Amino acid sequence: MSTETKFKVKVYPAVKPKRVPRVVSEVLKGGASPKAISRMKKESVDCPVVEKEVAFLVCFACPSFLRRVSGVVDCAGGNGPPSEWLIG
Ligand code: SF4
């Protein structure tokens, strides 16, 4: 898996927040405060790999996610999120 940034992807407030699968929320629970998670639940990115709007939390848990700095995700551009995570 590459650790070099292939795409810079802007995080934005979702007009209609995407649903986040339970498995993703469960994984992230250990790493972020409930307040931060509820804030991030309302954010999206336009993923260049699957070419659609993806919930930021799904992006955060994606194998290609490298880091988020100042509202921009560094994406390795490898595998995108599993299709079963794209539920809403
Ligand atoms: S980290 Fe994953 S979900 Fe986020 S932009 Fe890259 S491929 Fe898409």
Low-confidence ranges of the chain (pLDDT < 50): none
Ligand 1 atom 1 nearest Cα: 65
Q: Is the pTM of this model over 0.85?
A: yes
What is the C-alpha to C-alpha distance for residues 20 and 41, in angstroms, rounded to an integer?
8
CA-50 nearest atom, ligand 1: 8
Q: How many CB atoms lie within 10 A of CB 24?
A: 21
Q: How far is the CA of 33 from the centre of ligand 1 (A)?
A: 22
**Dist. CA 42–CA 3, nearest whole Å:** 27
Per-residue confidence (pLDDT) for residue 22, from 0 to 100:
92
pLDDT of residue 1: 55
Name residues whose C-beta falls within 8 Å of residue 29's C-beta, 6 or more positions apart in sequence: 37
